[in-house]
Amino acid sequence: MSTSDVRGIMARIPYPERAADAVTRLPVQLNAFRMLSHAPPMTGPAIDLGLAVLRESTLPVRLRELVVLAVASGTRCAYLSVQHGPIALNAGATPEQLAAIAEQRTDGPELDATESAAVTAAFEQVSRHTLSEGTLAALRARVGDRQVVEVVMTTGYYVMLAGLMNGLGVDVDPSGEKFLGLVGGDPG
């Protein structure tokens, strides 16, 4: 989705007057975490997990971002699409890959076998809340068990955020290019 697809969306409840202390640790106070500040005890742990997903995962950045975009597509979360599309492109993803994921296609020439396995796993987690034996086997054939867990955890984390953003109509922040410095890791 583009920014123009999400204009007119307004938060369904007001943002807190003051962001939780944990939000002030971020270089940019994203609307998702400002909204989460209604529940201060949850804000810090959510930010910490997000930073671990972004900075400590062994998944290549491009692969991680394709998984995030699969969550965006599967949950119809405009916020994630707008934020993570530019990050994925910066990490080496192609517009054709983003289009395939937006259309929930994983078996075309746009995705290699590893990307297809990870994106398929994300789509299954979103829609079925589990992985089929075939999907798990395909993913394990391409990545180690640590990265299998990282794909599942990345998916779960962004599903949680998509629920917050979709359920409460969190306003989309400016395009993800502004936040490229927040996502760390090796682009490969």
The answer, as to whether pTM is greater than 0.85, is yes
In tens, the pLDDT along 11-34 reads: 999 999 999 999 988 888 889 999
Can you give the residue ranges of every domain in the chain?
A: 61-167
- For the chain, the maximum distance between any two Cα atoms, rounded to a whole number of angstroms, is 49
Q: Does domain 61-167 fall into CATH 1.20.1290.10?
A: yes
* Buried residues in 96-116 as b, exposed as e (16+ CB within 10 A): ebbebbeeeebeeebbeebbb
Residue 43 predicted with pLDDT over 70: yes
In tens, the pLDDT along 106-140 reads: 999 999 999 999 999 999 999 999 999 999 999 99
